[in-house]
C-alpha cells in the first residue's frame, strides 16, 4: 500500500462531533465558537507543549485571552451553558493547562464573585476581573483537607474591629503564584461557618510558593498559600458567602465545567490518535488499516460522544435552572472515567511515541490525571450520586 499522505483534517467527522451536537447552538454561537477555535489554533496550540515541558506559564497570553473575551460567557454575555461548555472543551482540546487557568479565573474565582458578592462588591470588582486586568485564584483545598474540606476547613477567620484576620494554609491553588486576588474560604471562629473573602495578594502575611515536580498540568502554576494573620478589610468579606452551602453554589457549576474538560481531553486524544493511525505506517500499511486500531479509535470516539451527550443534556438543565448537585457529580465521575480510558487507548496507539511530549499524546495522557482528581474525586462524586439514588449516605 502506498505511503501517500491522507488529508486527515477533511475526513468525515474530523471534528469528533459524531452526532452534530453543535447544531443545537444558535448561528451566533456557532460563529463565535469558530472564532475561538481559530484563536486557539493560532495562539495556544503552537506553544502548549513547550510551556508544559518547561513548566512555565505564558504570561504574554493573558492580554490575548482578554482580547478574545472568554470570561463569564453565560452571566455576562448571555450565551447558553451549552455554548460555554463547548468552548471550555475546545480550550481543553488545545491545552488543558490554559483551560485550567481559565477554569480557575473564570469558573471558580469569578463564579464566586458573581454568585456570592453583593451588588456593591460586584460593581467594584467585576470590571477588572472580566477584563483580566486582575487575575484571580480560588483558595479552598488545604494541605490536610481535600474531599473532606466541607467539614474540616482549618483556615480560620476572626473579626477584629474593622477587619477579618485570616490564618492558615491552602494547597494546590492554581494561578496563585501570580494572581492579584484570591478568594479564600475560611472558618469563622465565632460561629464555625465557612465564609469567603477576597484577598489582595500584596497584603502583609500572604505568601504563595510554587508546587514543583508535577507530572500533570505542568504549565499551571499551582501553589501552597500561607496566611499569617492577614488583615482583610471588612468590605472584602463576600456578602453571600456565609456557609459551605454557599460555596456549593459555585462548585456545582464548576464541576460541570470540569466534566466538559473531560470531553475536551477525549477529543484531543481522538485528534492525535486518529492522525497518527492514518499517517504512521507499520508492515507497509497505515496503522488505521488494522482492525484492532480501528476498534480502539472507535472506543475513544464512543467515550467522547457519550460524555458529550450527557453534558449537552446537563447544560440544557442548567439553563432551565433545573440542574442538581448529584447530576453534576455523576457527570464529573462518568466523563472523567471515560476520559481515563480514552487517553490510555490513545497513548497505546502511539506506542513508544506516546510517552514523549513531541507527539502531544503524552501531555494529554498526563494532564488527564489532574482532571480526574480535582473538583471532587471520582469516588466522592460517585458517592454523592449514590446518596441521591438510594437515600443512604455512604460518606462519613
pTM summary value: 0.93
Q: 14-64, pLDDT tens digit by residue?
A: 788 999 999 999 999 999 999 999 999 999 999 999 999 999 999 999 999
Architecture, CATH, for domain 8-130: Orthogonal Bundle (1.10)
Q: How far is CA 84 from CA 70, 129, 301, 319, 346, in A?
A: 9, 18, 21, 11, 26
The arithmetic mean of pLDDT across residues 342-366, rounded, is 97
Q: What is the pLDDT of residue 277?
A: 95
Report helix, strand or coil for 223. strand
Range(s) of the chain covered by CATH 1.20.140.10: 245-390
pLDDT band at 73 (very low <50, low <70, confident <90, very high): very high
Tell me the CATH class for 245-390. mainly alpha
The answer to whether residue 297 scores a pLDDT higher than 60 is yes
The residues of the chain that CATH labels 2.40.110.10 are: 136-242
For residue 5, give the C-alpha cell.
499522505
Mean predicted confidence (pLDDT) in 231-236: 97
Mean pLDDT in residue range 127-132 = 97
Q: Which of 189, 202, 185 is nearest to 112 (CA)?
A: 185
Identify which of 260, 261, 264, 262 has the alpha carbon closest to the alpha carbon of residue 313. 260
pLDDT band, residue 12 (cuts 50/70/90): confident
CA angle 237, 240, 245 (to 5 degrees): 115
Is residue 392 predicted with pLDDT exceeding 70?
yes
- Reported as a pLDDT band with limits 50, 70 and 90, residue 6 is low
Write out the three cell numbers for 178. Answer: 501570580
Homologous superfamily of 136-242:
Butyryl-CoA Dehydrogenase, subunit A, domain 2 (2.40.110.10)
Question: What is the reported pLDDT for 185?
Answer: 96
Residue 250's pLDDT is 87
Confidence of residue 109 (pLDDT cuts 50, 70, 90): very high
Q: What is the pLDDT of residue 11?
A: 73
Band (pLDDT 50/70/90 cuts) for residue 2 is low
% of residues, the chain, pLDDT over 90: 87
Q: What is the pLDDT of residue 8?
A: 66
Query: Residue 378: pLDDT above 60?
Result: yes
| Residue 118 CB neighbours (<10 A) | 13
pLDDT at 386: 95
Whether the per-residue pLDDT at 232 is higher than 60: the answer is: yes
What's residue 181's pLDDT?
98
What is the predicted pLDDT for the residue at 252?
Answer: 80
User: 130-184, pLDDT tens digit by residue?
Assistant: 999 999 999 999 998 666 666 678 999 999 999 999 999 999 999 999 999 999 9
Q: Report pLDDT for 26.
A: 97
Q: How does DSSP assign 182-212, residue by residue?
A: EEEEEEETTT--EEEEEEETTSTTEEEEEPP
Arithmetic mean of pLDDT over the chain: 94
Region 122-127: mean pLDDT is 97
Q: What is the pLDDT of residue 304?
A: 97
What is the arithmetic mean of pLDDT over 267-278?
Answer: 96
pLDDT, tens digit (0-9, with 9 covering 90-100), for 301-324: 999 999 999 999 999 999 999 999
Domain(s) of CATH 1.10.540.10: residues in the chain: 8-130
Helix (H) or strand (E) holding 382: helix 378-390
Q: What is the pLDDT of residue 193?
A: 93
What average pLDDT does range 289-297 have in this prediction?
A: 96
Question: What does the pLDDT read at residue 150?
Answer: 60
Beta strand segments in the chain, E = 136-139, 156-160, 163-173, 181-188, 194-200, 206-210, 223-233, 281-282, 285-286
Mean pLDDT of 276-292: 93
Amino acid at each position: 500500500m502506498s505511503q501517500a499522505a491522507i488529508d486527515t483534517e477533511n475526513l468525515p467527522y474530523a471534528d469528533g462531533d459524531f452526532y452534530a451536537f453543535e447544531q443545537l447552538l444558535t448561528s451566533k454561537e456557532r460563529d463565535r465558537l469558530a472564532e475561538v477555535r481559530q484563536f486557539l489554533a493560532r495562539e495556544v496550540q503552537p506553544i502548549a507543549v513547550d510551556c508544559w515541558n518547561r513548566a512555565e506559564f505564558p504570561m504574554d497570553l493573558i492580554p490575548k485571552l482578554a482580547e478574545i473575551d472568554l470570561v463569564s460567557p453565560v452571566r455576562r454575555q448571555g450565551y447558553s451553558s451549552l455554548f460555554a461548555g463547548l468552548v471550555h472543551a475546545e480550550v481543553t482540546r488545545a491545552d488543558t493547562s490554559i483551560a485550567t487557568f481559565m477554569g480557575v479565573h473564570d469558573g471558580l474565582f469569578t463564579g464566586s464573585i458573581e454568585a456570592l458578592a453583593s451588588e456593591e462588591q460586584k460593581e467594584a470588582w467585576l470590571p477588572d476581573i472580566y477584563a483580566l486586568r486582575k487575575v484571580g485564584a480560588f483558595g479552598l483545598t488545604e494541605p490536610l483537607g481535600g474531599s473532606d474540606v466541607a467539614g474540616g476547613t482549618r483556615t480560620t477567620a476572626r473579626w477584629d474591629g474593622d477587619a477579618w484576620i485570616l490564618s492558615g494554609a491552602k494547597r494546590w491553588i492554581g494561578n496563585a503564584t501570580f494572581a492579584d486576588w484570591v478568594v479564600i474560604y475560611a472558618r469563622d471562629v465565632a460561629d464555625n461557618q465557612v465564609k469567603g473573602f477576597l484577598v489582595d495578594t500584596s497584603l502583609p502575611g500572604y505568601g504563595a510558593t510554587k508546587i514543583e515536580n508535577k507530572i500533570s498540568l505542568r504549565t499551571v502554576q499551582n501553589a501552597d498559600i500561607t496566611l499569617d494573620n492577614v488583615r482583610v478589610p471588612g468590605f472584602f468579606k463576600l456578602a453571600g458567602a456565609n456557609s459551605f452551602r454557599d460555596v456549593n453554589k459555585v462548585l456545582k457549576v464548576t464541576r460541570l465545567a470540569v466534566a466538559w474538560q473531560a470531553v475536551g481531553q477525549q477529543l484531543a486524544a481522538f485528534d492525535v490518535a486518529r492522525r497518527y493511525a492514518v499517517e504512521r505506517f507499520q508492515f507497509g500499511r497505515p496503522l488505521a488499516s488494522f482492525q484492532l486500531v480501528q476498534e480502539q479509535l472507535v472506543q475513544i470516539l464512543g467515550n467522547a460522544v457519550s460524555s458529550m451527550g450527557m453534558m449537552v443534556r446537563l447544560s440544557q438543565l442548567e439553563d432551565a435552572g433545573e440542574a442538581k448537585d448529584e447530576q453534576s457529580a455523576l457527570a464529573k465521575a462518568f466523563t472523567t472515567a471515560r476520559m481515563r480510558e480514552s487517553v490510555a487507548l490513545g497513548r497505546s496507539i502511539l506506542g513508544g511515541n506516546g510517552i514523549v511530549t513531541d507527539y502531544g499524546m503524552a501531555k494529554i495522557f498526563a494532564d488527564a490525571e489532574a482532571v480526574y482528581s480535582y473538583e471532587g474525586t471520582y469516588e466522592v462524586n460517585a458517592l454523592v450520586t449514590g446518596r441521591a439514588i438510594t437515600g443512604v449516605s455512604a460518606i462519613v
